[in-house]
Amino acid sequence: MAYRTWLNPFTGSEAWWQQQQQRGLPLIEPAANGRCQVTFFWRDPQGDARRSETRRVWINITGVTDHHHCAAPVSLTPLAGTDLWWWQTTLPADWRGSYCLIPDRQAETFTGPADMQALRQWWRQKFPQAQSDPLNPLRSWSGGRGMPISPLHLPDAPDQSVWRAVDRGDAAGIPLQSQRWRSERLGNQRQIWIHTTGAADAAPRPLALLLDGQFWAHSMPVAGPLQQLTDAGELPPAVYVMIDVIDREQRSRELTCDPDFWLAVQQELLPLIQQWAPFQAGDNTLVVGQSFGGLAAAYATLRWPQTFGGAVSLSGSFWWPARGEQGGWLSQQLQQGLLQAPPRRFYLEAGRRERLILAANQQFQRDLTAAGHQVSYHPIEGGHDALCWRGGVLAGLKALWPQR
Return per-residue pLDDT of the chain as tens, 404 residues: 456 899 999 999 999 999 999 999 999 999 999 999 999 999 999 999 889 999 999 999 999 999 887 789 999 999 999 999 999 999 999 999 999 999 999 999 998 777 888 898 999 999 999 999 999 999 999 988 889 999 999 999 999 999 999 999 876 678 999 999 999 999 999 999 999 999 877 778 999 999 999 999 999 999 999 999 999 999 999 999 999 999 999 999 999 999 999 999 999 999 999 999 999 999 999 999 999 999 999 999 999 999 999 999 999 999 999 987 668 999 999 999 999 999 999 999 999 999 999 999 999 999 999 999 999 999 999 999 999 999 999 999 999 998 64
145 lies in the same domain as 171: no
pLDDT for the residue numbered 104: 98
Identify the domain containing residue 267 by its residue range.
161-400
109 lies in the same domain as 182: no
Residue 9 lies in a domain: no
Contact 151, 139 (CB under 8 A): yes
| Distance between CA atoms of residues 85 and 270, nearest Å | 53
106 lies in the same domain as 195: no
104 lies in the same domain as 241: no
Number of domains into which the chain is organized: 2
370 lies in the same domain as 226: yes
Domain boundary, last residue among 132, 153, 174: 153
Strand 148-153 to strand 188-196: parallel, antiparallel, or no bridges (unpaired)?
unpaired
373 lies in the same domain as 348: yes
211 lies in the same domain as 356: yes
97 lies in the same domain as 197: no
CATH number of the domain bearing residue 47 = 2.60.40.10
Sequential DSSP letters for 341-392: PPP-EEEEEEETT-HHHHHHHHHHHHHHHHTT-EEEEEEESS-S-HHHHHHH
